[in-house]
Amino acid sequence: MPLRDLTASEQVRALAAGDTTSLELVDAHLAAVEADDVRAFLAVDAEGARARARAIDALPTRPPLGGVPIGIKDALSTRDVVTTAGSRMLEGFRPVYTATCVRRLEEAGAIVVGKTNMDEFAMGSSTENSAYANTLNPWDHGRVPGGSSGGSAAAVAERQVPWSLGSDTGGSIRQPAALCGIVGVKPTYGAVSRYGLIAFASSLDQVGPFSRTVTDAALLLRHMVGRDPMDSTSLDWPGAIALPTATDLTGLRVGVVEELMGEGVEPGVRGAIEASLREMEALGATVVPVSLPSTPSGLATYYVLAPAECSANLARFDGIRYGPSVAAETLLDQYEQTRGALFGPEVKRRIMLGTFALASGYYDEYYGRAQRVRTLIVREFTEAFRSVDVLASPTSPTVAFPLGDRTADPYAMYLADVCTIPVSLAGLPAISIPCGLSGGLPVGLQLAGPAFSENRLLDAAHAVEQALAFDTRPPGLVT
Amino acid sequence: MSGFEPVIGVEIHVQLSTRTKMFCGCALSFGDPPNTHTCPVCLAHPGVLPVVNAEAVRRALLIGLALGCEIAPRSIFHRKNYFYPDLPKAYQVSQFDIPICGRGEFTAIRDDGTDLVVGITRAHLEEDAAKLTHAGGRRAGAEGSVVDFNRGGTPLVEIVTEPDLRSASDAGTFLRQLRQTLLFLGVSDCSMEEGSMRADANVSIRPVGSHALGTKTELKNMNSFRFLERGIDAEIARQTQIVASGGRVRQETVHYEPETGEITPLRSKEESHAYRYFPEPDLVPVVPDPAWVDDLRHGLPELPVPMRRRMVGEMGLSAEDAEVLTGSPELAAYFMAVAGEADPKAAANWVRGELRAQLREVGEEPWESRVTPSRMAALVGLLAEGTVSVPAAKEVLAEVIATGGEPAAVVEARGLGQISDEDALRDVIADLMDANPDQAGQLRDGKEKVIGFFVGQAMKQTGGRADPKAVQRLVRAQIGGD
Ligand SMILES: [Zn+2]
- What pLDDT tens digit does each residue of chain A (479 aa) get? 899 999 999 999 999 999 999 999 999 999 999 999 999 999 999 999 999 999 999 999 999 999 999 999 999 999 999 999 999 999 999 999 999 999 999 999 999 999 999 999 999 999 999 999 999 999 999 999 999 999 999 999 999 999 999 999 999 999 999 999 999 999 999 999 999 999 999 999 999 999 999 999 999 999 999 999 999 999 999 999 999 999 999 999 999 999 999 888 999 999 999 999 999 999 999 999 999 999 999 999 999 999 999 999 999 999 999 999 999 988 899 999 999 999 999 999 999 999 999 998 899 999 999 999 999 999 999 999 999 999 999 999 999 999 999 999 998 899 999 999 999 999 999 999 999 999 999 999 999 999 999 999 999 999 999 999 999 999 999 99
- How many distinct helices (H) and strands (E) make up chain B? 16, 13
Q: Are residues B377 and B456 in the same domain?
A: no
Would you tell me how many other CB atoms lie within 10 Å of the CB of residue B158?
19
A396 tagged catalytic: no
Domain final position from B230, B259, B292: B292
A 204-233 residues with CB below 8 A of B?
229-233
Domain presence at residue B482: no
Q: Are residues B84 and B26 in the same domain?
A: yes
Asked if A335 and A344 count as a contact pair (C-beta separation under 8 A), the reply is no
What is the reported pLDDT for B269?
45
The alpha carbon of B154 and the centre of ligand 1 are apart by a number of angstroms equal to 9
pTM, 2 dp:
0.91
Q: Do B49 and A232 touch (CB under 8 A)?
A: yes
B46 touches A: beta carbon within 8 Å: yes
A148 tagged catalytic: yes
Pick A312's closest partner by Cβ from B43, B51, B79: B79
- Which of A232, A342, A343 is the mutation pick for testing B, counting most B CBs within 10 A? A232
Instruction: Please name the residue of chain A whose CA is at the shortest distance from the CA of residue B53.
Output: A232
Domain final position from B292, B325, B352: B292
**CA angle, residues B409, B413, B414, in degrees to nearest 5:** 120
Residue spans of the domains in chain A: they are 3-248
A308 touches B: beta carbon within 8 Å: yes
Q: Which of A335, A408, A439 has its CA nearest to residue A126?
A: A408
Task: Give pLDDT tens digits for A436-470.
Answer: 999 999 999 999 999 999 999 999 999 999 999 99
Contacts of A363 in chain B (CB under 8 A): 276, 278
Backbone angles phi, psi at B110, to 5 degrees: -75, 165
> Mean pLDDT across the stretch B46-75?
98
Q: Number of CB pairs < 8 Å for A and B?
A: 102
Q: Are residues B345 and B396 in the same domain?
A: yes
Q: Do B140 and A76 touch (CB under 8 A)?
A: no
A327 touches B: beta carbon within 8 Å: no
Domain presence at residue B297: no
Q: Which of B93, B99, B95, B194 has its CA nearest to residue B153?
A: B93
Q: Are residues B19 and B146 in the same domain?
A: yes
What is the reported pLDDT for A289?
97
For A42, half-sphere exposure in the C-beta direction (CA atoms, 13 angstrom radius) is 33
- How many distinct helices (H) and strands (E) make up chain A? 15, 11
Q: Which of A68, A82, A60, A85 has its CA nearest to residue A29?
A: A68
Pick A335's closest partner by Cβ from B47, B83, B274: B83
Query: B1 pLDDT band (50/70/90 cuts)?
Result: very low
What is the reported pLDDT for B443?
87
Domain final position from B292, B327, B356: B292
Instruction: Give A288's strand partners.
Output: A255
B196 Cβ contact list (under 8 Å, min separation 6): B14, B15, B17, B30, B188, B189, B190
Quote the CA–CA distance of B200 and B437 in Å, as a whole number. 74
Domain presence at residue B69: yes
What is the reported pLDDT for A394?
98
Query: B411 pLDDT band (50/70/90 cuts)?
Result: confident
Q: What is the rounded average pLDDT for all residues in chain B?
A: 92
What is the reported pLDDT for B270?
47
Q: Do A232 and B89 touch (CB under 8 A)?
A: no
Quote the CA–CA distance of A425 and A170 in Å, as a whole number. 8
Catalytic residue among A22, A126, A130, A148: A148
Quote the CA–CA distance of B261 and B227 in Å, as a whole number. 9
Asked if B166 and B185 count as a contact pair (C-beta separation under 8 A), the reply is no
Q: What DSSP line would sit under B227-272, residue for residue?
A: HHHHHHHHHHHHHHHHHHTT-----EEEEEETTTTEEEEEEEGGGG
Domain presence at residue B219: yes
Asked if A441 and A139 count as a contact pair (C-beta separation under 8 A), the reply is yes
A387 tagged catalytic: no
Contacts of B85 in chain A (CB under 8 A): 318, 320, 331
A355 touches B: beta carbon within 8 Å: yes
Task: Give pLDDT tens digits for B113-134.
Answer: 999 999 999 999 999 999 998 7
Contacts of B47 in chain A (CB under 8 A): 75-77, 95, 99, 194-199
Q: Are residues B125 and B260 in the same domain?
A: yes
Instruction: Please name the residue of chain B whose CA is at the shortest distance from the CA of residue A200.
Output: B47
What is the DSSP-derived secondary structure letter of residue B216?
-
Q: Are residues B117 and B266 in the same domain?
A: yes
Quote the CA–CA distance of B62 and B104 in Å, as a whole number. 13
The ipTM value here is 0.96
Asked if A173 and A145 count as a contact pair (C-beta separation under 8 A), the reply is no
Query: B111 pLDDT band (50/70/90 cuts)?
Result: very high
Q: Which of A81, A173, A87 has its CA nearest to residue A132?
A: A87
With 0-12 / 13-18 / 19 or more C-beta atoms within 10 angstroms meaning exposed / middle / buried, residue B314 is exposed
What is the reported pLDDT for B426?
87
Domain of B437 in residue numbering reads as: 422-476
- Structurally, chain B folds into a number of domains equal to 3
Instruction: Examine residue B224 and say whether the peptide bond preceding it is cis (omega within 30 degrees of 0).
Output: no
Question: Residues with beta carbon < 5 A to ion ligand 1?
Answer: B 24, 26, 39, 41-42
User: What share of chain B has pLDDT > 70, as a percent?
Assistant: 96
Asked if A72 and A116 count as a contact pair (C-beta separation under 8 A), the reply is yes
> Mean pLDDT across the stretch B460-478?
82
Statement: residue B138 has pLDDT above 60 = no
B69 Cβ contact list (under 8 Å, min separation 6): B63, B101, B102, B103, B104, B120, B122, B123
Instruction: Please name the residue of chain B whose CA is at the shortest distance from the CA of residue A90.
Output: B46
Quote the CA–CA distance of A131 and A120 in Å, as a whole number. 6
A298-318 b/e (C-beta count within 10 Å ≥ 16 → b):
bbebbbbbbbbbbbbbbbbbb
What is the reported pLDDT for B57?
98
Quote the CA–CA distance of A71 and A33 in Å, as a whole number. 10
Identify residue A335 by its one-letter amino acid code: Y
Q: Are residues B410 and B426 in the same domain?
A: no
Q: Do A95 and B282 touch (CB under 8 A)?
A: no
What CATH topology corresponds to A3-248? Amidase signature (AS) enzymes (3.90.1300)
What is the reported pLDDT for B265?
87
Catalytic residue among A172, A294, A325, A393: A172
Q: Are residues B318 and B366 in the same domain?
A: yes
Q: Do B43 and A232 touch (CB under 8 A)?
A: no
> Mean pLDDT across the stretch B425-453?
88
What is the reported pLDDT for B268?
55
Catalytic residue among A22, A73, A167, A276: A73
List the CATH number of the domain containing B447: 1.10.10.410
Contacts of B81 in chain A (CB under 8 A): 311-312, 315, 358
Look at residue B318 and give its three-state secondary structure: coil
Measured in whole angstroms, the distance separating CA B101 from the mean position of its chain's CA atoms is: 23
Query: B30 pLDDT band (50/70/90 cuts)?
Result: confident
Backbone angles phi, psi at A231, to 5 degrees: -130, 105
Q: Are residues B274 and B218 in the same domain?
A: yes
Kindly give the pairing relationship between strand A430-438 and strand A390-394: unpaired
Our CA dihedral for B206, B211, B213, B214, rounded to 10 degrees, sits at: -20
Q: Are residues B209 and B229 in the same domain?
A: yes
Domain presence at residue B481: no
What is the DSSP-derived secondary structure letter of residue A65?
T
Strand order in the sheet with B78-81: B91-94, B78-81, B278-279
Domain presence at residue B355: yes
